[in-house]
Structures are given as C-alpha cells and as structure tokens.
Amino acid sequence: DVVMVLRQVKDNLQTSLTGLLASVIATPLAAAVERYERIDAFIVVPTSWKSWRLRGFHPMKLILRMLDIRSTVVIRRRRRAHDQRGLTVDERIANLTGAFEGSPRCRGKLFMLIDDVVTSGATVAEVIRAVRAAGGEVVCVVALAHVALRRHAEKY
C-alpha cells in the first residue's frame, strides 16, 4: 500500500523507499505533463517547520528527484497550522486559511502542484489560493494517494 510505504519514508526515515514511490507517481505525472500544453514549473506543498526539523528532508522532493524533476520554491508558510489529523473538513479549512503565501515569481506562471496525500483537499485549495493571489495559476494537481477523511482521529 502506497500510504504505508510513504509512512515508512516520513516516520521512519526510510529514504531508500523513495524509488518505489517515484515509480507509483511517474505515470500520472507523465500523463499530466502530456495533457497540458504549458506547465512552467512544478511545486510541492511546503513541509512544516516541525517536520523539516525532525526529518531534515522533504519527502516529496526526494521522490521527485528520483524522476529527475526539480520543484520550484514559490510558496512558503506564512504561519503555523495545527496537524490536520483528526480534524473535520471545516476544521481543516479554518486551520489552513491564510497559512501559505505565494512569491511574486508566481505572476503569469502555470504550475503543476504535486502532493503526497490528499485527504480533504484543504491543503491543495490553500496552496492554489496562495498561487492565484500571487498572480499564478495551478493547472493541475497530482498526488501519490487519496485517503478518505475519517470521522475519528487516525494516522493515514
């Protein structure tokens, strides 16, 4: 299961598994690139400061590197958000509203947003809002996995 492998990378720092995850996302990425006439750059959801301190790496960037794809940094966290696990859709939206900010380098650019796991879509929606506010556009989103939002707090 893709999510279990991703957990091994994120929680147990098993970076040797990034090649397996790269093979999972390679086909959807290629299909998306082929589908759109123009994609100026790839962006990933910025990792939290806490996660960066714990891991020392960004899992999605490592996975993309296996495919020789470099993401551009045009989104940054403006403020901390709480862990999303266990939150309802409305709580996730409220938690993330205004959490990201787009760089002026977004202006006039078309982006593909790549994320590891999409649950409610709140993070993706907030990143898209930040890109648009900075004058860019996200033309498509590709994710490794979709996990249905559960009513009770569980790790995905």
Q: What is the pLDDT of residues 22-62, one digit of tens each?
A: 999 999 999 999 999 899 999 999 887 788 888 888 999 99
Residue 155 in this model has a pLDDT that exceeds 50: no
Instruction: Transcribe 119-149 into DSSP letters.
Output: SSSHHHHHHHHHHHHTT-EEEEEEEEEE-PP
Euclidean distance between CA atoms 95 and 133, whole angstroms: 19
Tell me, what DSSP letter sits at residue 51? Answer: H
pTM score: 0.86
Q: What is the pLDDT of residues 68-122, one digit of tens each?
A: 999 999 998 887 776 767 667 777 777 677 888 999 999 999 999 999 988 878 8
Is residue 105 within 8 Å of residue 94, measured between CB atoms?
no
The per-residue pLDDT for range 57-71, each reduced to its tens digit, is 899 999 999 999 999
Burial of 11 (0-12, 13-18, 19+ CB in 10 A): exposed
Residue 130, pLDDT score: 95
Q: Predicted confidence band at 132 (pLDDT cuts at 50, 70, 90)?
A: very high
Check: CB of residue 74 under 8 Å from CB of residue 134.
yes
* Residues 6+ away with beta carbon under 8 Å from 58: 44, 47, 52
